[in-house]
Each structure stands twice: as structure tokens, then as C-alpha cells.
Amino acid sequence: MEQASGFVVATRAALAQLSALAVQYSFSVIGAIILLILGWLISRVVSRWAHNGLSRIHGIDATLSQFFANIIRYAIMVLVIVMVLGQFGVQTASILAALGAIGLAVGLALQGTLQNIAAGIMLLVLRPFRVGESIETGNIQGIVVDVGLFATELKTSDGVYRLAPNSTLWNVPITNYSRRPTRRNEISVRIEATDDLARAQAKLMALAGRDKRVLRDPPPVVYVADFDAGGATITLRYWTSSSDWWISSRELTKAAKLAFGKQPEGIPDPQVSSHDAPGESGPPAPLGADEPGSVRT
């Protein structure tokens, strides 16, 4: 009997303690649920405000604004979870210290990835190139298809897909062939000493005048670039839109060769060449066009 009565007393005591704990922690559980719901709603509202506010700033890319909005949202949710754990008596200081240590370890492990993210942010803010522009940087050349936080997608002039990590694009000089609306080109012709210099200059100027892609402002010019006892090199310098640079340089070079024609027997044909301004290189061929010097089969 005594054992039965003792068991009943222990059971009642245990139930009393459980009811006390249930009453004590029920408010904590309810408070935790309310905090989670409020935190989730606040994080969504604040991230949406941040995204809309950053989108209104000139020069901020949509990818970048969404990235910062997501960071704000996740940061708020982390704080909410820490507050919820604090409702149950968990030491939040140790949690924050553990999160800091985990963040440091992840940062060291993903050092290369973080470099790409940092470079991607700088590329999206400074905008050295945009989607659809033709660029060249190091050994990478092509049309920009997409600029992301980790890498940039490009399409080469022969239709090849290329994916370049942002860190490789940020640490080297970038040549953007599409950013400026106009480009300059030069076509040089080598003539003999017995040829009429004024007539040769007039021919080159006439070629520029007949081509509608050659801009009239600034006007094209023809000048003697070099001379020696054997002859002279005359150069046509003209400006055209960046979109017409490649095709105009090829067609005007061909027209110059045809304009000067075949020389009398014993005199070599004039040497015609097309080149960009000194110290620069021409842009890649448009998509679908042959590269200079290539032969279609």
C-alpha cells in the first residue's frame, strides 16, 4: 500500500511540475511563434523597400539591388531566430560568437568565390560594360550576354559561349568597343614616286565621300603619312559609328584597292591596308561575319 501511495504522490508531483513547465513555456512558445511571423513579415517588407529604393538609384543594376535586398532579408531573419532562442533561455552571446566563427570559416573556404562576388558588385556599380556590348580584356573577347555576381557570360564572334569569372575581368584593363558612339579608322595606300600624289589623295577622299557610313563631322582627311625615294604612303582618316566600324573598314579597304586598280606592267600594285588609330586594335567581327583573313569553306 505504501508503495502504491508513494507512486501516486510521485506521479502527482511530476504532473504538477509538467503543468508548471507547460504554463511557463507556453508563453515563450507563443511569443516565439509571434516573433517568427513578425520577423518574416518585416524581413519581406524591408527587403522589398530596399530593392525598390536601390532600383531608383541611377547606375545600380537590378541584380545588385536584389542581392542587397536578400542580404537584408536574411540578416533580419537571423536576428529573429537569435531572439527566439533567447526566449527559451539560450545564451545568445555564445550563438553570435559561433555564427561569427562559422562566417569566418566559410569566408576563408570561399575566398575565391567572395572575390568574384566583390568583383561582380564593382562591375555592376561602375558599369565598364553592359549587356550587348563588345569588349576585349586580356585573352577574353566577345559580346556580353549577361553580367552576374559570380561570372559574366560572353558570346564570341564565331558563336562560342564563354563564361569568365568576374575577378578575371576586374583585375585587368577592359576595352569596350561599343561604349562610344563613334570610332575612327585609317586606310593607308602605298604609291610609287612616279604616281600623281594629288590624284591619289583625291581618289581616297572621293571614296570617303561616296560612303554614307563615313561621318561628315568630323570630316574625313587624307594626308601623306610617310615618304621615301621609292614613293609615299597616303592615309585616309575617317570617323564612323561604332556599329559600322567593322564593315566600313573592310568595304572601304576593298574599294581603295579597286579604285587604284592594276598598275602598268613592271610596277607593283599599290599596297592598301586598313588599321585603327595608333596603339589601338579593331573590335571583333560582328556575329555571323568572318574574321579578317578568314576564308569561308
Pair 94, 66 in one domain: yes
pLDDT tens-digit profile, the chain (297 residues): 555 565 555 666 665 665 665 555 666 677 778 888 888 888 888 888 887 887 777 666 676 777 778 888 888 888 888 777 776 666 666 666 766 777 766 666 556 677 888 888 888 888 888 888 999 987 888 999 988 888 899 998 888 999 998 888 888 889 998 889 999 999 988 888 888 888 889 989 999 999 999 999 999 999 998 888 888 999 999 999 998 998 999 999 999 888 886 443 333 444 556 655 443 445 555 544 443 333 332
What is the structure's pLDDT at 291? 38
Any idea what the CATH number is for the domain that residue 163 is in? 2.30.30.60
First to last CA, the chain: 106
Domain that includes residue 202, residue range: 182-275
Q: Are 162 and 156 in contact (CB under 8 A)?
A: yes
Pair 138, 78 in one domain: no
Asked if residue 296 is part of any domain, the answer here is no
d(CA 57, CA 256): 49
Asked if residue 263 is part of any domain, the answer here is yes
Record the pTM: 0.59
Pair 194, 257 in one domain: yes
Pair 135, 205 in one domain: no
Q: Are 35 and 80 in contact (CB under 8 A)?
A: yes
- What's the burial of 89, exposed, middle or buried (CB within 10 Å: 0-12/13-18/19+)? exposed
- What's the burial of 238, exposed, middle or buried (CB within 10 Å: 0-12/13-18/19+)? buried
What is the structure's pLDDT at 155? 92
What is the structure's pLDDT at 292? 36
Q: Of the candidates 81, 109, 137, which is a domain's last residue? A: 109
Any idea what the CATH number is for the domain that residue 25 is in? 1.10.287.1260
Pair 31, 71 in one domain: yes
Asked if residue 280 is part of any domain, the answer here is no
Residues 6+ apart with CB under 8 A from 222: 201, 204, 205, 208, 234, 235, 236, 237
Pair 208, 235 in one domain: yes
User: Long-range pairs for 210-213 at CB < 8 Å and ≥24 separation?
Assistant: 211/248, 211/251, 211/252, 211/255, 213/240, 213/241, 213/244, 213/247, 213/248
Pair 160, 210 in one domain: no
Any idea what the CATH number is for the domain that residue 218 is in? 3.30.70.100
Relative to beta strand 221-228, strand 161-165 is: unpaired
For the chain, the domain total comes to: 3
What is the structure's pLDDT at 59? 62
Asked if residue 282 is part of any domain, the answer here is no
d(CA 256, CA 267): 18
Pair 9, 105 in one domain: yes
Pair 154, 102 in one domain: no
Q: Are 250 and 216 in contact (CB under 8 A)?
A: no
Pair 90, 189 in one domain: no
What is the structure's pLDDT at 30? 75
Asked if residue 156 is part of any domain, the answer here is yes
Asked if residue 236 is part of any domain, the answer here is yes
Asked if residue 291 is part of any domain, the answer here is no
Pair 141, 205 in one domain: no
Pair 23, 83 in one domain: yes
Q: Are 193 and 230 in contact (CB under 8 A)?
A: yes
What is the structure's pLDDT at 269? 46
Asked if residue 240 is part of any domain, the answer here is yes
H, E, C per residue of the chain = CHHHHHHHHHHHHHHHHHHHHHHHHHHHHHHHHHHHHHHHHHHHHHHHHHHHHHHCCCCCCHHHHHHHHHHHHHHHHHHHHHHHHHHCCCCHHHHHHHHHHHHHHHHHHCHHHHHHHHHHHHHHHHCCCCCCCEEEECCEEEEEEEECCCEEEEECCCCCEEEEEHHHHHCCCCEECCCCCEEEEEEEEEEECCCCHHHHHHHHHHHHHHCCCECCCCCCEEEEEEEECCEEEEEEEEEEEHHHHHHHHHHHHHHHHHHHCCCCCCCCCCEEEEECCCCCCCCCCCCCCCCCCCCCC
